[in-house]
Amino acid sequence: MEKRNTAISICKAFAIILMVIGHADCPPLLGAFLYEFHMPLFFIAAGYFFSTKYLDNEKEFIVKRFKGLYIPFIKWAIFFLLIHNVLFHFNIINDQYGNGSPGGVAHLYTWHQLQQYIWQCVTQMGGYDVFLTGAFWFFRALLVASILYLILFKLIFNIKYLRSENERVKANKVGAIICVLMLLLAAWKTYSNLTISAFPMGGYRELMGTFFFGIGFLFRQNQKLLKANIWSFIGCFIIVFVFSRVAGASMAWNSTFTKFLSLPIPAILGFVMTYQISQYIDKRDNKFKRFMVYCGDNTLPIYIFHTISFKLVSLIKIGCYGLDFKQVGCHMVIHDYAHTDLFWIPYTIVGVGLPLAVNYIYKRNKEKATTNRVAH
């Protein structure tokens, strides 16, 4: 059996921690830097685990993806929709504070709106509560990217002129073709300002997600060629930093053609940089490594609950500054003084630590209960 690459788990830990930092209103310089690559990290890490064995067992792959992405999305998206009005009643979300932009506030859902949003969740993986689960677009984008990649890989892999190739070489060629195809489609979409109406938010994230998923597969195929050293790390860091200052980009759904052109290079180099750090950490056997592996293996609870966990820190900030209690409804954090104080640090600690702690306690108690049942 192939040894598990825990460096990839550490990469995922960095990705989720950076995501929480970005949502915590961190300093603009840091935010611009991490947005260059932190979401692509998730897709690249997911693509790392794609294998050509799934070409003969599509059902296993698709079922696994649905269990890991669609089911958690439906369960928690609908849960937060159902408690929206309850939280509104207690001003945890409210009609005075929300996004930093004017008018971006929450409202009570009518019965009709609630039903409509649930239908959208089930049929489109859209309609989720943007103030409680605004990051849930990732579930849809990764599910679509995974299945689309499988379909395209199988179709292209069986093209006649590729059949004489060595399987490894052929897999590399197919992976590269899909990546190029996704870049061309994303370029067409952003240049012509087109919308893929089947997907909420237009489909840009799904296209780029498929591209980065493919990069993860290609990395797995050729990872021995990537040798960690301090100079390549420094080079990657400098390039990503320069991009963040002169041509900033992210996986924003409304990306322009210019921002699309600015994304692939720093995103890939950001992954290389993060993977090299992860390899360094992975060589040690200490508590920090064990925490990062555990964090990377349990990103789901952080992804789902970091926004609601932020509310606890918002209450503390309200007390410290004497702010209006309703500011607890700010999305995702309280924006006042955000770029002059250091509250992004406790927001990050709680946003990562609280979901992980609850998840650890829940799993531990579940294991104990199972052991006791077996013993009796």
Dump pLDDT digits (tens) for 165-220: 688 888 999 999 999 999 999 999 999 999 999 899 999 999 999 999 999 999 99
Band of residue 3 on the pLDDT scale cut at 50, 70, 90: low
Alpha-carbon distances of 203 from 190, 237, 360, rounded to whole Å: 10, 29, 35
Rounded Cα gap, residues 198 and 123, in angstroms: 10
Alpha-carbon distances of 195 from 72, 186, 318, rounded to whole Å: 27, 11, 41
Whether 7 contacts 297, CB under 8 Å: no
- 93 inside domain: yes
Predicted confidence at residue 166, as pLDDT, reads 80
- 241 inside domain: yes
pTM: 0.94
Whether 55 contacts 154, CB under 8 Å: yes
Rounded Cα gap, residues 24 and 37, in angstroms: 17
Residue 237, exposed/middle/buried by CB under 10 A (0-12, 13-18, 19+)?
A: middle
Give the model confidence (pLDDT) of 126-155 as tens digits. Answer: 999 999 998 999 999 999 999 999 999 999
The closest of 92, 16, 35 to 331, measured between CA atoms, is 92
pLDDT above 50: residue 1: no
- 1 inside domain: no
Rounded Cα gap, residues 84 and 107, in angstroms: 9
Domain around 50: 6-375
Rounded Cα gap, residues 257 and 238, in angstroms: 24
- 96 inside domain: yes
How many domains, the chain?
Answer: 1
The closest of 7, 1, 3, 2 to 293, measured between CA atoms, is 7
pLDDT above 70: residue 73: yes
Predicted confidence at residue 160, as pLDDT, reads 76
- 168 inside domain: yes
- 12 inside domain: yes
Rounded Cα gap, residues 189 and 256, in angstroms: 9
For residue 204, count other CB atoms closer than 10 A to its CB.
24
- 107 inside domain: yes
Give the model confidence (pLDDT) of 299-320 as tens digits. Answer: 999 999 999 999 999 999 999 9
All residues at 6 or more sequence positions from 157 whose CB lies less than 8 Å from its CB, including other chains: 52, 55, 170, 171, 174
All residues at 6 or more sequence positions from 250 whose CB lies less than 8 Å from its CB, including other chains: 35, 36, 39, 259, 263
Whether 179 contacts 211, CB under 8 Å: yes
Q: Give mean pLDDT, residues 80-97.
A: 94
Give 52's DSSP letter. Answer: G
Q: Give mean pLDDT, residues 345-357.
A: 98
CA neighbours closer than 13 Å in the CB half-sphere of residue 340: 3
Q: Is 129 helix (H, G, I), strand (E, B) or coil?
A: coil
Give the model confidence (pLDDT) of 107-131 as tens digits. Answer: 999 999 999 999 999 999 999 999 9
All residues at 6 or more sequence positions from 301 whose CB lies less than 8 Å from its CB, including other chains: 355, 356, 358, 359
Q: Is 92 helix (H, G, I), strand (E, B) or coil?
A: coil
The closest of 231, 209, 235, 219 to 275, measured between CA atoms, is 219
